[in-house]
């Protein structure tokens, strides 16, 4: 069943990777004598998979680092979601301190979902001149994470910092160092990534596709004209989309096409990607325009034309939004390395989930992302001299989300022929990570502390739990119109005068509390008994398909969180068992008719489960002083490496044993 919230090429061009990886962007070698701390973040790297591939002899550099230094599981955040986990890493606090509890928060005043990480504030004052609406006071995008980033403490002590694409750092927080924003960075249209798909054979579900827009086209004399859609033109009433025209000619004999957009002409063969193309959207003629970049992919010429265009990314050479510190750091990277994805989550998972891409299309696109990241890594590493460096890789996360069913015979979408074809994709990505580690180990000196880490691990996502449907079945929730149960979303069909509990987001359950929620009915004296009743019922829940326990553990907010930002905390954090996760429908407040079903989406692996079931990894070139390091321990550990005491707000502790160095 398709959802509404998405999202052998094995060669992965490994030889091409080696060529790019070894060449870099042409910057000289760094000084090896100064004090350095380097942290490499491989998002989603899983300790079970890592150990499996190490035991098979496929990861010699990880194995060497583990033998000469240390390797342990790294306790993740609770819940183990990327914006939560990376906020723990950045601040050294848990969600009670930094205030990020989920990808999605709820607004108790409207009972609607909202972004947990960013907030847009429009210009408070405008003036209209003719048809143009001009701001006279600036709008802004706010980063909602609370607490200082650990690199700000380093900068207080004049330690140089480079923080490259750490998730949750959009807009990039004020910094004296060099930073480039990562996960959370939107495309030029302000979304987390909306692709365009031009075809003369539009799929029947084209109006349901989330994360992409299908534009039906009609060829006339082997050509068609259409438009690229950019940001909203906020200078005009009703804020229409800014667009630019482009034209495509199809070769009548060969499987090639020519694309003309603005002053650029591109010739592509079938299954070929264009280079990045800079495009400019005019907002006020002659006065105001905004620049973006995109790539074209000619998926098919015959029998039907199928042309994919990436989301229009923020142009690193002329950023329309604050993606770096200093402001010209993105321009510096562009100058040395060319264009690159600025979008926070660039792997095109949504096109694969909605069958716009097949697996080969997805792997070619995700390999583009990886090759770019390796090129950028070379530049950043070669220009790093001393102080602190963080660099982030996403391929170990988003590729595994989409191909976990290739290594999980129990997944409902597992197919043996397909699994054999793509079985090497995930281990090959880990081998690429191993090459990164090898390059670092060959370059660092005795004054460098190296940490390789991930924010969480992975588990199969076989069965989807519609938690709001379960709450309704168990009489904790009442609907206004039972006949409309499967049609509504955002909890708009909920009768709040008769509802005691609800869910929004991936792991959160809230009570409809009096004086907190807009129409709260649960009195303070009823809270404890209600929470206990819901917890007991959920822990007793069994999958009717196989009898398995669905919920591994349930956590109380007051038991796992500390700090001054508890207002967004859920009352219960639901720790699903391996194999189970909240459905996409649950995250936005929908209620399908059945409370559980097979996950037939290609998004087949996940980590939004009980935190202890999906730990991350930590490897270092020093021994650790604890058997159970936690993600929030890394911030005080990094500070301690530079002789800086832990701030009182940080809940973690240093994990290196000085006696073993």
The CB density around residue 399, as the number of other CB atoms within 10 Å, is 25
Q: How far apart are CA 366 and CA 341, in angstroms?
A: 11
**pLDDT band for position 411 (50/70/90)?**
very high
pLDDT digits (tens, 9 = 90+) for 486-532: 998 999 999 999 999 999 999 999 999 999 999 999 999 999 999 99
pLDDT digits (tens, 9 = 90+) for 40-84: 999 999 999 999 999 999 999 999 999 999 999 999 999 999 999
What is the per-residue pLDDT for 152? Answer: 97
What is the token pair recorded at 295?
Answer: 């790539």
- Name residue 127's beta-bridge partners: 134
Q: Who's near 582: CB < 8 A, 6+ residues apart?
A: 464, 465, 467, 503, 505, 506, 507, 574, 576, 608
pLDDT digits (tens, 9 = 90+) for 202-223: 998 888 898 999 999 999 999 9
Region 171-181: what's the mean pLDDT? 95
Q: Where in the sequence of the chain do the CATH 3.40.720.10 domains occur?
A: 9-100+145-185+321-458+614-660
Nearest Cα neighbor of 407 from 388, 390, 425 is 425
Region 395-419: what's the mean pLDDT? 98
CB 563 within 8 A of CB 571: no
Top-tier CATH class for 9-100+145-185+321-458+614-660:
alpha beta
What is the per-residue pLDDT for 119? Answer: 84
What is the per-residue pLDDT for 567? Answer: 87
What is the three-state SS of 106-134?
A: EECCCCEEEECCEEEECCCCEEEECCEEE
What is the token pair recorded at 342?
Answer: 């600025």
Region 281-308: what's the mean pLDDT? 95
CB 460 within 8 A of CB 411: yes
Helix or strand or coil: residue 74? strand
Helix (H) or strand (E) holding 637: helix 634-641
User: Is-cis flag, bond preceding 72, omega within 30?
Assistant: no
What is the per-residue pLDDT for 223? Answer: 96
What is the token pair recorded at 289?
Answer: 């325009």
Helix or strand or coil: residue 313? strand
Beta strands, E only, 486-591: 501-502, 508-511, 551-556, 572-576, 579-582
What is the per-residue pLDDT for 34? Answer: 76
What is the per-residue pLDDT for 488? Answer: 86
What is the per-residue pLDDT for 9? Answer: 33
């Amino acid at each position: 069943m398709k959802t509404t919230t998405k999202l052998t090429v094995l060669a992965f061009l490994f030889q091409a990777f080696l060529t790019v990886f070894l060449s870099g962007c042409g910057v000289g070698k760094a000084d090896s004598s100064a004090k350095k701390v380097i942290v490499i973040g491989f998002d989603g790297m899983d300790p079970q998979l890592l150990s499996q591939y190490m035991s098979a002899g496929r990861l010699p550099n990880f194995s060497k680092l583990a033998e000469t230094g240390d390797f342990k599981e790294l306790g993740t955040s609770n819940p183990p979601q990327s914006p939560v986990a990376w906020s723990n890493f950045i601040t050294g606090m848990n969600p009670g301190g930094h205030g990020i509890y989920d990808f999605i928060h709820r607004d108790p005043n409207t009972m609607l979902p909202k972004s947990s990480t960013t907030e847009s504030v429009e210009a408070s004052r405008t003036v209209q001149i003719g048809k143009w609406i001009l701001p006279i006071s600036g709008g802004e995008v706010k980063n909602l994470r609370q607490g200082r980033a650990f690199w700000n403490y380093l900068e207080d002590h004049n330690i140089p910092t480079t923080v490259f694409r750490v998730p949750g750092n959009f807009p990039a927080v004020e910094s004296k160092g060099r930073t480039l924003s990562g996960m959370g960075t939107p495309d030029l249209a302000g979304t987390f990534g909306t692709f365009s798909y031009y075809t003369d054979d539009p799929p029947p579900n084209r109006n349901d596709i989330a994360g992409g827009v299908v534009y039906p086209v009609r060829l006339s004399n082997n050509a068609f004209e259409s438009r690229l859609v950019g940001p909203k033109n906020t200078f005009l009433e009703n804020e229409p989309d800014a667009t630019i025209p482009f034209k495509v000619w199809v070769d009548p004999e060969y499987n090639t096409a020519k694309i003309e957009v603005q002053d650029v002409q591109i010739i592509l063969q079938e299954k070929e990607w264009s280079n990045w193309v800079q495009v400019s959207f005019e907002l006020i003629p002659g006065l105001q325009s905004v620049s973006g970049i995109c790539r074209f992919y000619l998926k098919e010429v015959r029998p039907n034309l199928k042309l994919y265009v990436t989301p229009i990314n923020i142009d690193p050479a002329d950023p329309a939004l604050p993606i770096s510190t200093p402001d010209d750091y993105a321009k510096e990277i562009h100058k040395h390395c060319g264009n690159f994805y600025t979008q926070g989550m660039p792997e095109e998972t949504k096109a694969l989930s909605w069958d716009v891409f097949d697996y080969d299309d997805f792997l070619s696109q995700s390999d583009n992302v990886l090759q770019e990241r390796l090129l950028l890594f070379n530049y950043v590493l070669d220009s790093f001299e001393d102080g602190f460096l963080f660099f982030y890789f996403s391929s170990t996360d988003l590729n595994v989300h989409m191909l976990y069913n290739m290594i999980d015979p129990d997944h409902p979408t597992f197919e043996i022929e397909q699994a054999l074809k793509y079985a090497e994709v995930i281990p090959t990505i880990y081998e690429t990570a191993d090459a990164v580690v090898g390059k670092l180990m060959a370059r660092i000196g005795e004054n460098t502390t190296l940490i390789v880490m991930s924010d969480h691990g992975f588990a199969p996502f076989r069965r989807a739990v519609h938690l709001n449907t379960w709450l309704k079945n168990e009489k904790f929730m009442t609907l206004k119109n039972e006949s409309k149960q499967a049609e509504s979303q955002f909890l708009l069909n909920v009768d709040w005068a008769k509802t005691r509990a609800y869910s929004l987001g991936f792991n959160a359950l809230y009570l409809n509390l009096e004086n907190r929620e807009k129409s709260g009915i649960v009195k303070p004296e009823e809270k404890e008994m209600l929470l206990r009743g819901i917890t007991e019922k959920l822990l007793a829940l069994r999958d009717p398909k196989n009898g398995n326990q669905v919920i591994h553990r349930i956590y109380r907010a007051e038991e796992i969180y500390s700090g001054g930002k508890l207002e967004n905390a859920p009352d219960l954090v639901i720790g699903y068992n391996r194999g189970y996760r909240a459905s996409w429908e649950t995250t936005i407040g929908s209620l399908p008719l059945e409370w559980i079903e097979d996950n037939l989406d290609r998004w087949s692996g996940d980590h939004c489960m009980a935190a202890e079931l999906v730990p991350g990894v930590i490897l270092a070139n020093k021994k650790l002083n604890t058997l159970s390091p936690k993600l929030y321990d890394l911030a005080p550990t990094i500070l301690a490496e530079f002789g800086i005491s832990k701030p009182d707000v940080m809940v973690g502790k240093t994990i290196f044993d000085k006696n073993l160095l």
